[in-house]
Amino acid sequence: MNIYVCIKQVPDTEATILVKDGKTINETNVKWIISPYDEYAIEEALKLREKAAGSKVTAVCLGPERVQSALRTALAMGADAALHVECAAALDSLGTARALAHVIRADKDFGVIFLGRQAIDDDASQLHILLAEELSIPVATNVLAFAYDGGKVRVEREIDEGAAVAAAKGLNTPRYASMMGIMKAKKIEIRKVALAETGVEEAGNLVSLLKLSSPPEKPQGRIIPGEPAAAVHELVKLLREEAKVL
């Protein structure tokens, strides 16, 4: 069985994100990582390969040249092959799903497809559903337990031939990329597919980014002096008249 795992490269959660031009971020000094939920997807794909003799795991990522580092990490974790859909455009979730579906569909023997339930940058949580629709296969979201037996997939989730599985935290414990794995990954060729070959283009986006902005700074806290009863009375007044949450 040919197992696929679709991953996304995102800024590290500890990175300082600065908005540039109102629609993009300043990538200077930003550390890029595999979206954490995708790590669970990679691990589950590798576990399935270990149980299904003769299976192969291919990591797929859409994006600019820098996403190859994410693919190298997937290879170092144990993936057998990597596929880079070269794309400098800002595709929406549907366009991304169509491009990924194109390259996966080219493999007539594709089986289970794993993805993280959402990417931590946009939190859209819809790519797995759109990809399954494009490929006309079942999809399971927020998967917490996965089993494959006799050509059938059984999952447990929070909220069902090929299937798209959106991994959630708790599904497994992702393995670390070993030094041997990292060295081996450097020697594996990453196959490239130009976005134009998939028939998808940015002009086909149904979702447009109008504005990107940093969250406002939190106001400084206030201390209400006085006796407890009077302080509580003043707090309720402030919550009602200033914060307007009561």
Q: Which of 195, 188, 194 is nearest to 81 (CA)?
A: 188
Give tens-digit pLDDT for 119-165: 988 888 889 999 999 999 988 888 888 888 877 888 887 654 566 77
Neighbouring C-beta atoms of residue 66, cutoff 10 Å:
11
Q: Is the pLDDT of residue 2 over 80?
A: yes
Q: For residue 22, is it left (φ>0), alpha (ψ between -120 and 50) or beta?
A: left
**Helices (H) then strands (E): counts for the chain:** 7, 12
What's the fold here for domain 2-204? Rossmann fold (3.40.50)
Q: What pLDDT does 10 receive?
A: 94
Question: Are 186 and 82 a contacting pair, CB within 8 Å?
Answer: no
* Inter-axis angle of helices 93-105 and 127-135, nearest 10: 40
Give tens-digit pLDDT for 30-83: 899 999 999 999 999 999 999 888 999 999 999 999 999 999 999 999 999 999
Q: Where are the domains of the chain?
A: 2-204, 216-246
Question: What whole-number distance in Å separates Cα of residue 1 and Cα of residue 112?
Answer: 8
229's CB contacts (< 8 A; 6+ apart) are none
Q: Is the pLDDT of residue 100 over 80?
A: yes
